[in-house]
Structure formats: structure tokens, C-alpha cells
Amino acid sequence: MSRVLDGGAAAAAFPLGGIGTGNVSVGARGELRDWELANAPDKGASLPFTFFAIRVAADNREAVTRVLEGKLRPPHEGDQGYDAGRLAGLPRLAGSAMRGEYPLLRVELGDPVLGVEVALSAFTPFVPLDADASGLPGAVLRYTVKNTSDEAADVTVVGSMANPVGIVRRNVFNFPEFEGHPRNEWVDDGLLRGIRFGTDLDEGDLRFGSAALSTTDADVTAKPQWLSGFWQDGVQVFWDDLRADGRLDVEDVESLDPPPHPDWFTRLRVGSLGIVARLEPGAERDFEFLLTWHFPNRARAWQGNIGLDNAGAGDVVRNHYATRFADAWAVARHLAAELPELEGATRAFHRALHGGTLPTEVVDAAAANLAALRSTTCFRLEGGVFAAWEGSFDHAGSCEGTCTHVWNYAQSMAFLFPELERSARTTEFLHETREDGRMNFRANSVFGNAAWDFHPAVDGQLGAVVRLYREWRFGGGDEWLARLFPGAKRALDFAFTEWDADGDGVLDSKQHNTYDIEFFGPNSLANSMFVAALHAGARMAAHLGEDAVADRYRAAATHCAERMDALLYNGEYYEQRIDDVNEHRYQYGRGCLSDQLLGQQLAHIVGLGHVLPADHVRSAIGAVSRYNFREDLSEHHSVQRTYALGDEAGLLLCTWPHGGRPRIPFVYCDEVWTGIEYQVATHLIYEGLAEEGLRIVRAVRERHDGRRRSPWNEAECGNHYARSLASWGPVLALSGVDYDAPSATLTVRPRLDATVMRSVFTTGRGWGEVEVGPGGAALALHGGSLDLARLVVEHPSLGRLEATGVSLRAGDAFPLTAPAPTTPPEEK
């Protein structure tokens, strides 16, 4: 998506950082914002005096020094104006233009006064199928400067940064206060030089950590530690020093305030690293910085708002990344040493995703929400265990426990980092499924704390079975499946006893679900998921040789599908069957529920095909689109949370086109959730209603245009909400790529109404680009390996092509040419 945002796009924040590492974001003016490095969300958190600046001294002209950001835009309010740390009183640049195509960001920064053009390129390596390579706590910040004047110029680009280690709070002046004493240290190890930001805290302290601002560039100038003091002597001296000659002096004292300093004396320690170069007219040069961090320790407990047992909160557990790197400097060394390879893979993925032929809104949605995977919502503990919140409140995680019914919708991680989804399934089926089959839908075992005691969630629990099938089918392996399948059987069998009160094979009792309430009576959210789970269970059972189990599940699936269809299909869509819709609060009755076929959607994605009557399914998902999608919400009356409003478009969770709305319907019914919008869009595409699906995707992304909301943050109950990872669904559905590891088959059946389909594709061990067009098909493998027994391509212009025994390694391409035309020449 090539949307360009100017400095007025105040909501835009492009997050840097890897999986499970926390983030710092770049705003539309090119500024660093939202410092969330230390294992917790902290939207809006600033680091004082942390910014990049440029000094340009062209021969025969007065030197110009500017903050490397677009100018500040109104509103300019603040209880002390802009606090001193913001440096709002320094001159900035006239214009900025941000283009974020996740995982790559580019911000052009311009001002005629400079005599040079500057562009910031920023990214954190992103390599499909490699969670470690995609999990580096750091980023590359590369300022490319081109001398557009007719005079040679001496250029300094300098990054300044406050030591972020040990921050416990911010005072009324918005200055951080610290536990321990931050320490700045100059390091030059031959490969890298720069500032290591450390602390005197103990290594086991929750707030222990480090950060580094470094460069491989040899031509540096630095002030590793500004003067500190009661007042802001440091910044005045720094700025004057920079302006004077573009070279920084090392301070010979820590502070001009005479010691001894009282305990409350500021511990803020700022340092600056500059790169200097002379640019001839027309010359261009990169000024490249590495920003890395390392906050190894988390509290060994969720400490979330749901209130799971937090017994381990006094202990710490390390982040996975902390087991790979000793500190932030080690991260920087790794990043510098591996940069060509890491950047190459990142750019290849970027090209494969953004350079294909899928509609821009689909690519935009899929790419932008990958940021959620690398936000504070997700993390990895030592040992590699994956865990996640539902989302991130501004200053705390939202709703703990890798919630099964929210992660039910997510597809991006399954198809890009399948090992992480496997970790979640392992937790669910080995540690959170009780003997009786009830699954704790929020996992507390990841911290070793006591299991959560609450209703089971029908959609989450059954969805987990389908997702186990998805992960196994994508390459999880038989050994892994065999370990988890006993738990999956218990979880599936639990449905019969817990949720089918009358034993008719259709779930109908009190059913807790993703709307945080309980449905009563037969409904197709639960039952479509039950049918899908039964089919998935049957396939896994059959593969493991448990034929009786497979037969039983298959029969139950067929029976449930038939009976559910008979009970719930109203000739147009699937309803909830309940005698008095107001007997219990929070039901939907005759409503048209957007999620009514969530199980069928999931069945499509995992290759189960239609598990309900195809004509009814098509009609029902069409009704969802017709009734629940609104081009304009100005006349919509919702007293619930609000994610779309006014003249915005969006898909409502439920409507009552034929009346029957309960007095108090379920508590989110009038809301618009991007995760559900994506799952419905995906389903529409699978059913051949691509235009209806794309309309929904466009609506979501138009709501996230940088002015209304950030393009890289789709919120629900929290920022970077996990359900938004449903946004990979339309890529799967449109590209029609389906990988079945057990049979080593890759199938490509594009559902895109275009002559040529070119898209990224992933399998369990390899990823690349696929192109299908009139002349044939081609695979290009960019990473990993691909060993196929069978490759099948179907496309209207091609018919069906097939190849067997395809084996590719990264860098290989494989063409599958269409047979020579058999059309007689005279018809041409």
C-alpha cells in the first residue's frame, strides 16, 4: 500500500522491534515515539532529549542545524507547554512524507534550507519462518543524505538518546525517575562504536537491562554523556556544541552542579553519537545507526486485569531473546554482522508481499497487522514458550493468557511463524486441558502459576482443535501431533458432555464465548466450530491410526451439520434457536451474526472445505455482508465501545434485519471488530464473493489512515489486538495457496479475478513468491526449503497443471509451463 502520510497524520506510529522484544515507534514526522522497550506497553511514553539532528555546513554558506523531524503540528497544548525534554523549541524541517510498508519504513525529510535531501529508512529484520531472526530487540535507522546543492558540504547526523534503563515513573515534568543509576559508556570494539546504556542494578532485577546506540561507520563524533544537573545545562551545551562545528566534545565532568548530589538528584543520562562526512555536490551517503536494547527480565506472572493467579510475581523469568544475547551491545554486534543477510531476507519478503498483484488493501491489511505479532501483545519466555495478551492497553497488557477464543481468528502467525502457534497448542493441550477435557481458555501454566478456574469457552476450546490440525498440517510433524492429540480428544469429547445438554449432537447448553457472555441454545457460532473440530479431529485420528475415533468424529460431524442446518438455517442465514430471546440476557436470537460461520471459515483455511451445505453457507455469508456491512455509520445507534463511527464504514457484529432484537442483546453486538471483519472478508472470498470481501477490507484500512487511527495498530480490547491477525486470511483466500505437509502437496487455486496472480506464499519450511498467469505458473523460493510430492495449480486461464517431485532450496525457481495451445491457428 503506497499511502503517503504527511506530518499531520498524528495517529500514525510505525513500530520497530522484533517478536517478543517490545518496541519503539516512528511517527509521521519521522520522530521516535512510544518507547516500550521494557516488557510492558507504554503508549505515549517519551524519552527526553532522544532525537536525531543534522548539521549541514556547505562551503561558503552558514551552517544549518535542524532536528531531523517534520515540524510540530497543532494542538500544542500541554500543562507546561511542551516539556523541556521534547525540545519543541528547536527548528525542524518544513516537510515530511512517511511511507510504511511493513516491515519497511521510509520517511522523506525535506527543507530547502538544508541544501541536502534526507530520507530515513528504518526496519527490524523480518524473516518468515524464522522467529529468532524476526525477534531481534533493535532496529536499523539509516539516514540517507544526498547533497542537492552545488557546493560540497560537511554533514553531521547525530542521534541523542537518554539512558532508558531502570525507569520506574515519570515526574510532573515528564522526566523519568530511575531505580538504580543509569551509566553511559563509550564502546569501540572494532566492528561497532557507540554508546552502551547500562545501569548499576543487579542482573536479576526486574528493571535490569541495557540499550545501545551504535554504528559501523568509522567517521564518528560523540558526546557519550551530556552534562547532567538540576537544570538542563546538558542540552544547551550539546546543541551549542553541535551547531558550532558539527563535532562533539567529550564532557570532562558529569555535572556543573557541585557534588555531593542529593539522592533525588537527576539520574537522567543522555548521550549523543554522530556520523560525519563531507558530501560533494550530487553525492549521496548513508548515515546508519543501530538502536538495540535488552531488558531480559519479566515478572513470572501475568499480573493482568482478569486476575489469574500471580503467585510467581516476585520472581523473574527471562525473555527468549535474553537467552540468545548477553546485552544490547551483543544484539548490535549480531545485527551488524548479519545485516546483509537479514536485510536481504527482509527486503525479499517485503517485495514478495507488497510487490505482488493482490489488491493493495489486502496487502496493506496483512502487512500492517504483522506489527501486532511484534508488539507488546506477544512475547516469548526462556525455553521458547510463546505467550500473548489479547492486546495491549496503553500501559499494561490487556486480558492475559493467550486467550483461545481471541486467537481463534489469528492466521498471520500460523502461516509465518508456525513454531510459535505450535508452542501455543502445546500449552493448550499438554498443560491447560484438564483430565475431564475442560480447557482453561487462558493459560497460566506458561508462568507455572495455578490454572484459571472459569467457564470453558466453547468457541475457543473447539477452535483450538481445528488449529492443532492447522499447525500439524502445516508441518508440525507426527511426533508432535501424537503428543498433543490425547488432549485434543479430551477437549473435543468434553463438548458432548458439557455443551450438548439433550444429547442430540448439537451444542445447546450454556456456552461461554468470545463475546464474554454465554449463549444458550443451539447457535451456529458454536456448532459450525464443533463440526469443523470434529472433521479436524477425525483426520488427525485417522492419520494416527485411531480409526474408531475417526469414524466417531466424522459421523458426529455429519450429524451435527445436518441437524444444525435443520434447526438454525432460516432460508437465508443461520440464527440462534431460543424460545424466549429475553429469558437470558446477551443472546441474539433471530439476528444475523457476523461470526455465524466462524467454524466454516476456519475449515476453509485449513483445507477442510465445506463442512456445511455449500449453498446455505454462501447465502448466509452473503447475508452477513448485506445486512451487517454499513457504508456509513452516522445513523447507527450503539451504546457500546466504538471502533468505527460517523461517516466511516464497517461490519457490525450482529444485526436484526427481520426484527427480534433482544431487549439486552449480547454486549458487543453493535460494535465493529477488525478481526471479525477480516474473517468475514476471508470467508466471502472463499465463497466466491471476493468483491464483498474486499469492500470490508477497504473499510477497515480506510479507518486506519494515519489521521483517524494508526495504520499499524488495530485496537479492540487493547492496541495491536490479536484478533487483527485474521488479516492474513484474505491473502490465503485470494492467492489460493494451500500447503498440506502430510501429503507434501502445495495447491494454488487463485480466487483473484485477474489475469495474473503473484503473491507471497509460505509453507512449513520454505517461503517465496508464486505467480500464476496465462503462460503458466512459477515458484521462487526465497527462504528455507520446499520438498513437494505434488504441486497443483488451477487457474481459469490455465486449467489444471500439476507437477510431482518438486524440490527447491532458497534462491531456486520452478516454472510450471502451460501446455502449448491446441487452438487451431485460424481461430487466432
Residue 394 near residue 387 (C-beta atoms within 8 A): no
Binding mask 195-224 for a copy of itself (x = CB under 8 A): ------------------------------
Selected from 63, 90, 220, 311, the binder of a copy of itself by CB under 8 A is 90
Closest distance to a copy of itself from the beta carbon of 807 (Å): 47
Selected from 375, 404, 527, 713, the binder of a copy of itself by CB under 8 A is 713
Task: Find, among 579, 575, 578, the residue nearest to 565 by Cα.
Answer: 575
Q: Which residues pair with 273 in a beta bridge?
A: 159, 222
- Nearest to a copy of itself of 83, 382 (CB atom): 83
Sign of CA pseudo-dihedral 727, 730, 733, 738: negative
DSSP secondary structure code for residue 310 in this structure: -
Closest distance to a copy of itself from the beta carbon of 110 (Å): 15
Confirm or reject binding of residue 822 to a copy of itself (CB under 8 A).
no
What is the total count of residues that contact a copy of itself (CB under 8 A)?
74
Selected from 149, 360, 640, 745, the binder of a copy of itself by CB under 8 A is 640
- Nearest to a copy of itself of 566, 639 (CB atom): 639
Interaction residues for a copy of itself, span 402-461 (CB under 8 A)? none
Interaction residues for a copy of itself, span 24-83 (CB under 8 A)? 43, 65, 71-72, 74-83
Residue 247 near residue 276 (C-beta atoms within 8 A): yes
Confirm or reject binding of residue 306 to a copy of itself (CB under 8 A).
no
Measured in whole angstroms, how far is the alpha carbon of residue 221 from the centre of its chain?
37
- Nearest to a copy of itself of 109, 717 (CB atom): 717
- Nearest to a copy of itself of 172, 566 (CB atom): 172
Confirm or reject binding of residue 582 to a copy of itself (CB under 8 A).
no
Q: Long-range pairs for 769-776 at CB < 8 Å and ≥24 separation?
A: 769/351, 769/352, 769/356, 770/735, 770/737, 772/748, 772/798, 773/797, 774/798, 774/818, 775/817, 775/818, 776/801, 776/815, 776/816, 776/817, 776/818
Confirm or reject binding of residue 510 to a copy of itself (CB under 8 A).
no
Interaction residues for a copy of itself, span 127-156 (CB under 8 A)? none
Closest distance to a copy of itself from the beta carbon of 787 (Å): 44
**385: helix, strand or coil:** coil
Contacts of 263 (CB under 8 A, 6+ apart): none
Closest distance to a copy of itself from the beta carbon of 703 (Å): 8
Interaction residues for a copy of itself, span 716-735 (CB under 8 A)? 716-719
Give CA separation, 64 vs 277, 512, 517, in Å.
15, 63, 61
> Grid coordinates 539509516 are at which residue?
142
Interaction residues for a copy of itself, span 220-239 (CB under 8 A)? 231-233, 235-237, 239
- Nearest to a copy of itself of 375, 735 (CB atom): 375
- Nearest to a copy of itself of 113, 326 (CB atom): 113
Selected from 502, 635, 826, 827, the binder of a copy of itself by CB under 8 A is 635
Interaction residues for a copy of itself, span 155-194 (CB under 8 A)? 171-172
Selected from 170, 334, 708, 765, the binder of a copy of itself by CB under 8 A is 708
Selected from 193, 261, 563, 585, the binder of a copy of itself by CB under 8 A is 585
Closest distance to a copy of itself from the beta carbon of 679 (Å): 18
Interaction residues for a copy of itself, span 384-413 (CB under 8 A)? 391-394, 396, 398
Q: What angle do CA 212, 186, 183 make, to 5 degrees?
A: 70
Give me the torsion for CA of 370, 375, 377, 382, rounded to 10°.
Answer: 110
618: amino acid identity, one letter: R
Closest distance to a copy of itself from the beta carbon of 116 (Å): 18
180: amino acid identity, one letter: G
Give CA separation, 573 vs 225, 595, 614, 670, in Å.
67, 11, 12, 19
Confirm or reject binding of residue 549 to a copy of itself (CB under 8 A).
no
> Grid coordinates 496493506 are at which residue?
364
705: amino acid identity, one letter: D
Confirm or reject binding of residue 638 to a copy of itself (CB under 8 A).
yes
Give the integer Cα–Cα distance in Å for 480 and 558: 28
- Nearest to a copy of itself of 395, 809 (CB atom): 395
- Nearest to a copy of itself of 379, 668 (CB atom): 668
Q: Which residues pair with 93 in a beta bridge?
A: 70
| 568, containing H or E segment | helix 547-568
